[in-house]
Structure 1
């Protein structure tokens, strides 16, 4: 890293992703764009930023959070690698409570609700079965260390959550400040996943549940990425004709940080694809992540 002329004390350790990392847009394949846009507007309170042909970009009025790509013939996900869920991270607990009010007002079914210690979460599927986690982080000083994921989550105190906005009416739109918090993937092998995401890309391992799931992050966050083998060890990549994750996005501060990751990927003998402002690389199950620079 020193070849870029930066002082060593402002740099992450060699081979680690920088603490300033954040996540950008998640690109999903859906089968019916009108239906999906209506769902994300109504149930989650996202806004349509723009729509061109079979592609719609959505968010909370700032940067795009979701980009939906319509493929009417795509089939539901099956027993293969791919998306488990992506997390929409609300800026405050009150905003997560307002999201819960919105789900109730729109009669949106939920799959589960959990308290992970580090964060509170509500789980819902989109109309194609793509998993969504609606989450709010607890203050970092209250996080268990290491993250207590191995014992499984506690049930969410929904009554306590809703008391944060007691007496409020449901609001149609999510407030600004909504972000992509993390991704969670189905893969075929945890060690192989760690070799790619930790050893090549440069995430730090935060938690490992042997035979189940691993969690990695940058900058001490509880996790920017989880991956599990709950669909079975050795599951194959997703076939081309499935709904689900097209790619997710990692945003770094500087172009040279993006290039440092690309050099690590090349050194590991892994091919990359050029993408706007950076590059795209695929994990051992062909799941794509795009790196781009904020500047």
Structure 2
């Protein structure tokens, strides 16, 4: 499963979200989704899957406001489950708990279920179809939005129970609203080093490292030249990208600076911002 999420690739590992009500969010992420609490403070908490590794940080800002529509920021973050059986178990769990889903899809490279947390932060839960079955042509992967076979998925897991996130689940990818696709493409490809693996007309791009179907999705579905969310709004604070080694980190920082992209180095941590104001933490 982690063939495309290891130190030979560039990939997403963590996300920090701002929420309106920390207690409400904890109930959702722990009791509905099946994450574990790694660390809890008065205005923030860290969630884990394996009991050791931070995956999601939830933070309740002062004077927090609800999310404003039609802005840049998070479209969804995606949790990759180890297999189809687990995806079916998750679907059964959501159905039993009567939590609403937005829909599902068979993308030819994966099967996915979509929902939102209580603050309308988008979430995808998915499992990959075997990579030997992905169709590539001219270094572009074929993806679609076919109907998900819910009944077959449920039948695969009829004898299993959802016992929370399986320990080898990870963040598989992240999908972002941006304000200009070409500018975002330059940042992520020429700045961070991702490859374009699929283009959806002139409205969305999918980028990856090491031949994955996508580690990053970008779209302009909220509009062109729209602004970012206010700092005290619910939504994404930042997400983390892991780079293979220190040399790659130095090369990436130098490349970003040469292209006049913002690099923030503070307290031995490195951040950058894409062209739409999405904050990214860079780690080795």
The two structures have a TM-score, normalised by structure 2, of 0.91
CA distance in 2, matches of 1:274, 1:100: 41
Secondary structure in 2 matching 1:155? coil
1:78-131 CA-partner distances (Å, limit 9, x unpaired): 111111000011111111111112111211100010010111100000000000
Counterpart in the other structure of 1:123: 114
CA distance in 2, matches of 1:238, 1:147: 32
CA distance in 2, matches of 1:191, 1:222: 20
Q: Of residues 156, 160, 163 in structure 1, which corresponds to 2:152? A: 160
**2:236 maps to 1:245:** yes
Q: Which runs of 4+ in 1 moved over 3 A?
A: 275-278
Cα 1:62–1:144 shift into 2, 3 Å: farther
Secondary structure in 1 matching 2:141? coil
CA distance in 2, matches of 1:221, 1:189: 24
Root mean square deviation of aligned Cα: 1.5
Counterpart in the other structure of 1:28: 17
CA distance in 1, matches of 2:236, 2:225: 19
**2:36 maps to 1:47:** yes
CA distance in 2, matches of 1:275, 1:181: 27
Gaps of 5+ in 2: 1-6
CA distance in 2, matches of 1:73, 1:20: 36
Counterpart in the other structure of 1:4: none
Q: Of residues 57, 63, 73 in structure 2, which corresponds to 1:67? A: 57
CA distance in 2, matches of 1:96, 1:264: 39
Gaps of 5+ in 1: 1-17
Number of equivalenced pairs: 273
CA distance in 2, matches of 1:219, 1:266: 24
Counterpart in the other structure of 1:210: 201
Q: Please give the residue correspondences for 1:189-200 in structure 2 after superposition, counting only pairs within 5 Å.
A: 189-200=180-191
CA distance in 2, matches of 1:176, 1:65: 12
Report the CA distance between 1:40 and its aligned residue. Answer: 0.7
Secondary structure in 1 matching 2:104? strand
Q: Of residues 100, 112, 122 in structure 1, which corresponds to 2:91? A: 100
CA distance in 1, matches of 2:195, 2:60: 35
CA distance in 2, matches of 1:126, 1:191: 30
**2:33 maps to 1:56:** no
Contact 1:216 1:224 in 2 (8 A): yes
CA distance in 2, matches of 1:22, 1:271: 20
Q: Of residues 265, 270, 273 in structure 1, which corresponds to 2:261? A: 270
Q: Of residues 218, 229, 253 in structure 1, which corresponds to 2:220? A: 229
Contact 1:19 1:220 in 2 (8 A): no
Contact 2:238 2:279 in 1 (8 A): yes
Contact 1:77 1:244 in 2 (8 A): no
CA distance in 1, matches of 2:47, 2:156: 27
> Larger deviation: 214-223 or 274-283?
274-283
Report the CA distance between 1:278 and its aligned residue. Answer: 4.2
Report the CA distance between 1:166 and its aligned residue. Answer: 1.8
Counterpart in the other structure of 2:3: none
